[in-house]
Structure 1
């Protein structure tokens, strides 16, 4: 009732009312236990359904909210994640990660890279160190890759809130190679395993000739803000090599996470985002 009165009746003179109401919608959606509808938002905010509908439509258009076509309810969109990622970038995540990347590069001789999630649900390369070997993958800074078929994408999915994962995977999972995972149930089973091991593996799922491993870099809330990864030709990626590089990249990602304030103990690593209060 207090929220309703504050939103509907607060006679502030130096604020933009529509912006204030839009931010109120975002706060209400964020506080909800799951997707929330127009009627409930109207009740909580003390605004007419028509007003709430217009605000929500605008927020969906700008990717701040996502609408479930079946339930017609709303949840937070990827634009908020992008803004949060940019905030982390302002803390110079590349500067924090670079010495660790250089050490990983020195030890492995393989291509090492740093990626973040974009508002479109793609993994974007922020930084890289190319392999010293003659045969190596071509990693382009700024390239956007689908999350479901690259190691860095799957690593990040393992440490995001459930509603954000649902928004990212809302569309059909496109097949790129014979090993691409295209069923969401199968992908989520893999993601659950990543929470236990601490690293993800790409077995030629986006490009047959390129494989890799990656681990999430988490902030003080233990949610992923980036991923540290290693890419190499599939011809060099044996099961034993994947395990060795995976353990190593997970260790190095935890070093970066610790610098960002993450409490990366075994309990938090093995739990799902929802069990840590982020659904």
Structure 2
């Protein structure tokens, strides 16, 4: 039973591993996981039965199923961080007239769990739940800047190929930690800017990051100062309510 569960989970993790891929053929799944085709077919049948994966009618490829969304949404409702942060994020978005995001770390990745859209007609909209490598984007960098050095080293060794890249990245993290916020320009989406500050829990551990997303043509030194001060203030308020 344990072996079957492990193999079924490996299929799920494989389907999650490439956001750009529009589904997997059963032969690809079997080949990647080095499983017999018959075993793969049996496991997929069980996962489909429980709506954990689904098959496209058009392409016959397999995708993550709707049950995970249901599970995720139920879990999100239980998260104190999201509950505490949302009203503060709403206030921040109204104040700065930009979209505001809440992200949490997950091993070598992060993902946004809450979003308040800008009240303006032209605005930045990023997808909730999208996994983003920890070396990309302002929210991730500001979280890394406040993590334990051993954890940072582990993450950067996984994500950056050379010692020189890691050395330069660590220098950038020092500057972020000193400034109290991080800013990224067009790192994930062309024409956009993100400004982020870290959220900490009662034990001074990183709980997440709050960020403001805006169009790059709206950027100026004055605007950066305004937004960085605002996002730090809100991150500190959330941290205080978490006991950080």
Question: TM-score normalised by the shorter chain: which range applies?
Answer: 0.5 to 0.7
Partners of 1:100 and 1:256 within 8 A in 2: yes
Q: Within 5 A, what are the aligned runs for 1:1-279?
A: 90=78, 92-119=80-107, 121-173=108-160, 183-262=165-244
CA deviation after TM superposition for structure 1 residue 204, in Å: 1.7
SS in 1 for 2:135: helix
Unaligned stretches of 5+ in structure 1? 1-86, 175-181, 263-279
CA deviation after TM superposition for structure 1 residue 90, in Å: 4.8
SS in 1 for 2:193: strand
Distance 1:227 1:116 in 2: 7
SS in 1 for 2:183: strand
Question: 2:64 corresponds to which residue?
Answer: none
Which range moved further: 164-173 or 191-200? 164-173
Which whole-Å deviations, capped at 9, do the CAs of 1:185-238 have from their partners, x for residues lacking one?
222112111212211101222223111101110011222111011111111122
Distance 1:88 1:157 in 2: 23
CA deviation after TM superposition for structure 1 residue 138, in Å: 2.2
Distance 1:227 1:90 in 2: 18
Which whole-Å deviations, capped at 9, do the CAs of 1:158-210 have from their partners, x for residues lacking one?
11111111111113448xxxxxxx92222211211121221110122222311
Distance 1:170 1:88 in 2: 30
Q: Provide closer, same or farther for how the CA distance between residues 172 and 125 of structure 1 changes in structure 2, counting only shifts above 3 A.
A: closer
Distance 1:172 1:260 in 2: 30
Which whole-Å deviations, capped at 9, do the CAs of 1:47-81 have from their partners, x for residues lacking one?
xxxxxxxxxxxxxxxxxxxxxxxxxxxxxxxxxxx
Q: May I ask how many residue pairs the two structures share in their alignment? A: 168
CA deviation after TM superposition for structure 1 residue 148, in Å: 1.8
SS in 1 for 2:186: strand
Partners of 1:114 and 1:226 within 8 A in 2: yes
Using the size of structure 1 for normalisation, the TM-score is 0.56
Distance 2:222 2:166 in 1: 27
SS in 2 for 1:206: coil
Q: Provide closer, same or farther for how the CA distance between residues 137 and 173 of structure 1 changes in structure 2, counting only shifts above 3 A.
A: farther
